[in-house]
Structure 1
Amino acid sequence: MSRSSTMLARGAVFATAVAATAVTSIARAQAPTSARDQREGYAPLVLKLPATARVLALGGARVALRDVDAVFGNPALVGTGTGLAFGAERYESGATAGQFASSSTIGPLGIGVGAQMLDAGPRYGAFPAKSEVLTREGAVGTTSLAASVAASLTWKQIRWGVAATYVEERVADDRAGGVGFDIGASKSLSLLNSTVGVAVQHLGPRLEVAGRREALPTQLALGIATAPKGLGKWVDVGGTAELDVRRDGEVFPRGGVELSYSPIEGVTFTGRAGARRPQLREERPVTAGGGFTVDRFTLDYGWETLREGAGHRLTIRLR
């Protein structure tokens, strides 16, 4: 095994501990002092929300997932799953988040594009937006956008990727915009037929509205995801675990498991459960969801608990 592979293998062993850490973090995240200590002084808000139903159901872990929407998690995995995905989430306050992603290959290159948008009106609001816009109907509003393009390439048996993202947050008639970058790497391992991913996410300048400047939610993400493993003739199990280290030093473990049942070829039912240490005050630790696949069509559902009510996200994937 090469030196780089050995380093990534060690990272995989380390990342597997995240699942256990996430369970411990549930109790910590529920403590009122923890909720008060979590800062929300980063913008735009849409970058801190799970992009798809599958990611949401798995606790927000995404940096090692091989999927169409890798453009939102780790650009190194763009092109490993081809097709397109689109969906939306509805929050307790009436706020709505939408998402679109497409991934393909051109020769040795993986190419991906994607966009996320959050509409949490009314027109008046504050910068940076707080997560209460997801749960309180009368909360001050915001609209935020993130549009990305990513490319990946395999070199020295490691897959590398980079993404550029135009980000924007609007408050009343003011808006802040800029360009951020993600840099990622991934490696397939024989251990549990898994994928290890690492990415530095949301690098870029501060956004400014009416003289108020706020940083992007820059973080280092390290994770591992296992391919589905058969528990029997029709049942497979897989999972993912991730550790996010935010620019202020706060650490956020997250992860989840998914159980799939395939009664006939081309038809699959999937159930998912996840846990996380929330980055936002209005989020809660538990997530869940499921999916239904027929041939190349997949409908995924994700559910998350919030301080008030819940969020419900649907994503359609076409391969």
Structure 2
Amino acid sequence: MSRSTQTVFRWSALVTVLATALATGAAASIANAQVPSPDQRERYAPLILKLPASARLLSFGGAQVALRDVDAVFGNPALVGTATALAFGAERYASGATAGQFASSSTIGPLGIGVGVHLLDAGGRYGTFPAPSEVLTRENAAGASSIAATLAASLTWKQLRWGVGAKYVEERVSDDRAGGVVFDIGASKSLQFLNSTVGVAVQHLGRRLSVAGRSELLPTQLALGIATAPRGLGKWLDLSGTVELDVRRDGELFPRGGVELSYIPIDGVVLTGRVGGRRPQLREERPIAVGGGFTVDRVTLDYGWEALRDGAGHRLTLRLR
């Protein structure tokens, strides 16, 4: 088999996998509107753990467990340190609610170290617990605020990369707050097939959050995914993608994923477009997300857009490598 034939075969396989995953996500989203009740879709707290933390993650439909980037601190601690970078970002929702994000990834000897903060300010002093996703789309919805601050570390052992993350999470409603420590445990493996990375993580392990006499479980889930490194499509184009399946603690399945096409007109300048899909976990979310990015040397500005039940969410992230 010639090299060109092998390349076509590999990309055909990748496109088939991604298309199948996204189609499955779209079909599951339609089914989801008929099976679980709205209350079931709004279970678990805090809300911040169910929202993508950066523009790139948002435009991939929230798929994050196999991505080798500074965003790994929010998805899979095994991959922190695989990229040395800083990232800052913010999102504006249809209701006027805002989200902010900071992430840092570096290495100290054999250890990868990641720090991340993700917060949500949905306005209004009075709210309900757990915060419903309508705070993202309705201006008159009950207010709430959430935060998740993470410290994660990783290392390579037995040809696998392992990681653990500890985060303090909090959801504040009215004058009360529910807070606690949550853990993520992850592993990853690099494969020769399309220079890809496989990731698996158990996310959001911890005790119930309690406030004002009411308690709620965390959105604990098992996430499995694969992401490919950029591969050339001709002289100036690169293509990559990622797919993920989240298995929530109640047994519900949430596929998600996306593709990324980059145009490199000259060295050091990259224009990127992304499209993703997901089975929404939240009542106000919709399956479609898109985005793009512009890179000059070591600076990248990413944009992500997500469809919501009313309006949309717009997120910007600045990454410094």
TM-score for both structures, normalised by structure 2? 0.93
Structure 1, unmatched stretches of 5+, are 1-12
The one-letter amino acid of 1:122's match is: G
Asked if residue 100 in structure 1 is aligned to residue 105 in structure 2, the reply is no
Corresponding residue of 1:156 = 158
Q: Could you say which residue in structure 1 is the equivalent of 2:220?
A: 218
Shift >3 Å, 4+ stretches: 16-19, 34-38
Return the letter of the residue paired with 2:37: R
> What is the CA distance between 1:69 and its match in structure 2?
1.7
* Contact 1:35/1:281 (<8 A) preserved: no
The equivalent residue for 1:135 is: 137
For structure 2, the 5+ residue unaligned runs are 1-12
Secondary structure (helix, strand or coil) at the match of 2:147 reads strand
Identity of aligned residues (%): 77
Q: C-alpha separation between the residues in 2 aligned to 1:189 and 1:40?
A: 37
Aligned mates of 1:248, 1:22 — CA distance in 2: 22
The answer on whether the counterparts of 1:299 and 1:317 sit within 8 Å (CA) in structure 2 is yes
Shift in Å, 1:83: 1.1
Paired residue type of 2:208 = R
Displacement of 1:20 in angstroms is 1.0
Instruction: Determine the structure 1 residue equivalent to 2:193.
Output: 191
RMSD over equivalenced CA pairs, Å:
1.5
Per-residue CA deviations over 1:226-285 (Å, capped at 9, x if unaligned) read 000000111000000000000000000000000000000000000000000000000000
**8 Å Cα contact 1:99/1:117 also seen in 2:** yes
Question: Which residue number in structure 2 is paired with residue 3 of structure 1?
Answer: none
Equivalent-residue separation in structure 2 for 1:85 and 1:25 (angstroms)? 29
The equivalent residue for 1:20 is 20
Alignment of 1:200-279 (within 5 A): 200-279=202-281
Deviations 1:279-300 (A, max 9, x none): 0000000000000000000000
Displacement after TM superposition at 1:19 (Å): 4.8
> SS of 2:229's equivalent?
strand
Question: Residue in 2 aligned with 1:306?
Answer: 308
Distance 1:50 1:279 in 2: 12
**2:37 aligned residue:** 36
- In the TM superposition, residue 106 of structure 1 has moved relative to its aligned partner by 0.3
Q: For the Cα contact (< 8 Å) 1:278–1:284, is it kept in 2? A: yes
| Paired letter, 1:232 | G
For 1:312, give the aligned amino acid. Answer: H
* Separation in 2, partners of 1:18, 1:167: 33
Q: Which residue of 2 aligns with 1:61?
A: 63
**Structure 1 residue 33 displacement after superposition:** 1.8
Match of 1:67, SS state, is coil
Task: Please state whether the residue corresponding to 1:87 is helix, strand or coil.
Answer: strand
Could you tell me which amino acid in structure 1 is paired with residue 21 of structure 2? Answer: T
Q: Distance in 1 between matches of 2:30 and 2:100?
A: 28
Q: Distance in 2 between matches of 1:144 and 1:97?
A: 9
Kept in 2, the 8 Å contact 1:237–1:258? The answer is: yes
Give 1:118 shift. 0.3
Distance in 2 (alpha carbons) for counterparts of 1:143 and 1:240: 30
Q: Out of 286, 292, 296, which is 2:298 matched to? A: 296
Instruction: Kindly state the Cα deviation for residue 34 of structure 1 after the two structures are TM-superposed.
Output: 4.4
The change in CA–CA distance for 1:274 and 1:182 in structure 2 (over 3 A counts) is: same
Separation of aligned partners in 1, 2:291 and 2:30: 21
Q: Which amino acid aligns with 1:309?
A: G
| Aligned counterpart in structure 2 of residue 88 of structure 1, from 80, 87, 90 | 90
Q: Distance in 2 between matches of 1:71 and 1:18?
A: 24
Aligned residues: 306
Tell me the SS of whatever aligns to 1:71.
helix
Letter in 2 for 1:210: A
| Mapped contact 2:18–2:258 kept (Cα < 8 A) | no
Check whether the contact 1:36–1:281 (CA below 8 A) recurs between aligned residues. Answer: no
Shift of 1:23: 1.2
Give the whole-Å Cα distance in 2 for the aligned partners of 1:25 and 1:87. Answer: 27
| Alpha-carbon distance, 1:30 to partner | 3.7
Q: 1:248 to 1:81 in 2, by over 3 A?
A: same
- TM-score of the two chains, using structure 1 as the length reference: 0.93
Matched residues in 1 for 2:318 and 2:30: separation? 32
Following superposition, the deviation at residue 66 of structure 1 comes to: 0.4
Provide the rounded CA distance (Å) in 2 between the counterparts of 1:239 and 1:85. Answer: 21
For residues 170-195 of structure 1, the C-alpha deviation after alignment (integer angstroms, 9 at most, x for no partner) is 00100011000000000000011000
Residue deviations 1:195-247 (CA, integer Å, cap 9, x gap): 00000000000000111000111000000000000001110000000000000
Q: Is the 8 A contact 1:149 1:164 kept in 2?
A: yes
